[in-house]
């Protein structure tokens, strides 16, 4: 089989998928030789796989401040969101959610016609008002927004589902969660591994057909080597997040200031209480797809469209809910190795790229 890899010179889309962390790569290669068997069986290879799976649960639990028996591994972050939220909502429940939740949350709720669903408004930074949540049986409130990085407040009353796919490992989980979901490829683990946390004693029930696996909260054969690699990456990211987060936060501050100097530009999201590694900005009179393509041709891999609706390049419901520009937006998210030189190179390219696109549009 022959293929040629084509890559941008500078990858700035880690909010979609972080490159595999070195800790995950090392563990994955080792675990492939020992974690291939079905951990439900009784023979020695299966017992080895079960030990690896239990170890992965323990590592994730310690990294997130949970118990080992509260941790499950799913086939993806989306699967963890669907299982976590739907399993928390009983028949006929009222579910309140922020207007800026990921599309995985919105699709899950739309799949359940028995639920009464309420969308909560957000302010210009994309944050809900914790004093104005209204009545609910279940509250779905992301830890931090996938598109603009704004961190949501801690809410500890009642049944709370936290979509932490964008933030898990990068910042501590908000207090008061009943169920939470994460996605390994967002923190440098392998793709195809989600994390589902169900707090002990919470009335969660599997919303899909049961499967007689080791873990009753999930279905199918866990990818044991990938789960262990995901756990290793999470452990490493949590250990280094203070140093990496501070450095990334400063780089994003630098980017926010530089982009603001471009005429007719809006930088969105909370400038301080946010995820450290990402920022979104919108350019008036600019097509987002054209901007992504132009930057890619210059060696910069960035995202546009709606990061919270599967990158469909449709107008962003997140930005619309915030009252921000919904077109001509770019999301930049930094790798753990990103430098000031990387940011400065992007800032040097952006004014010319934006000016060229506006000129082609006759503006």
Question: Which residue in 291, 308, 338, 353 is the catalytic one?
Answer: 308
Give 22-49 as a DSSP string.
HHHHHHHHHHTTT--S-TTS-SHHHHHH
Q: Are strands 94-98 and 10-11 parallel, antiparallel or unpaired?
A: unpaired
Q: Is 57 helix (H, G, I), strand (E, B) or coil?
A: helix
| 302 close to 332: Cβ distance less than 8 angstroms | yes
In sequence order, the 6+-apart residues with CB closer than 8 A to the CB of 33 are: none
Is-catalytic flag, 308? yes
User: What is the Rg, in whole angstroms, of the alpha carbon atoms belonging to the chain?
Assistant: 21
Instruction: Give how far Cα 295 sits from Cα of 17, 112, 307, 349, Å.
Output: 18, 41, 17, 8
276 DSSP assignment: S
Inter-residue contact 176 to 223 (CB < 8 Å):
no
Tell me how far apart the terminal alpha carbons of the chain are, to the nearest angstrom: 47
Query: What does DSSP assign to residue 157?
Result: S
Q: What would the DSSP string read from start to end of 323-357?
A: T---SSEEEEE--TT--HHHHHHHHHHHHHHHHHH
Burial of 105 (0-12, 13-18, 19+ CB in 10 A): buried
Which residues are the active-site residues?
308
């Amino acid at each position: 089989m022959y293929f040629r890899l084509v890559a941008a010179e500078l990858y700035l889309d880690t909010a979609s998928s972080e490159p595999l962390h070195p800790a995950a790569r090392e563990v994955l290669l080792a675990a492939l030789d020992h974690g291939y068997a079905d951990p439900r069986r009784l023979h020695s290879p299966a017992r080895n796989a079960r030990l690896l799976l239990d170890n992965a649960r323990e590592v994730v639990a310690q990294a997130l401040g949970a118990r080992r028996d509260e941790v499950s591994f799913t086939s993806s972050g989306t699967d963890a969101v669907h299982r976590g939220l739907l399993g928390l909502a009983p028949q006929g429940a009222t579910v309140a959610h922020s207007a800026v939740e990921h599309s995985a949350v919105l699709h899950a709720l739309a799949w359940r016609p028995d639920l009464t669903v309420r969308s909560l408004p957000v302010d210009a930074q994309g944050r809900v008002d914790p004093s104005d949540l209204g009545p609910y049986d279940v509250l779905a409130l992301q830890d931090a927004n996938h598109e603009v990085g704004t961190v949501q407040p801690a809410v500890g009353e009642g049944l709370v589902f936290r979509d932490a796919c964008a933030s898990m490992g990068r910042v501590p989980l908000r207090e008061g969660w009943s169920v939470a979901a994460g996605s390994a490829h967002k923190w440098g683990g392998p793709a195809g591994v989600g994390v589902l946390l169900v707090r002990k004693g919470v009335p969660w029930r599997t919303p899909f057909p049961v499967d007689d696996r080791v873990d009753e909260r999930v279905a199918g054969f866990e990818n044991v080597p990938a789960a262990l690699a995901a756990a290793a990456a999470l452990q490493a990211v949590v250990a280094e997040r203070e140093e990496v987060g501070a450095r990334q936060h400063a780089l994003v501050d630098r980017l926010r200031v530089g982009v603001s100097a471009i005429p007719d530009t809006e930088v969105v999201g909370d400038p301080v209480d946010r995820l450290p590694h990402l920022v979104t900005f919108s350019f008036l009179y600019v097509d987002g797809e054209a901007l992504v393509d132009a930057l890619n041709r210059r060696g910069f891999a960035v995202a546009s469209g709606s990061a919270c609706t599967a990158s469909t390049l449709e107008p962003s419901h997140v930005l619309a809910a915030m009252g921000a520009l919904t077109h001509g937006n770019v999301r930049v998210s930094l790798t753990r190795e990103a430098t000031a030189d990387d940011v400065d190179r992007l800032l040097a390219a952006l004014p010319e790229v934006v000016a060229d696109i506006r000129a082609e549009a006759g503006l």
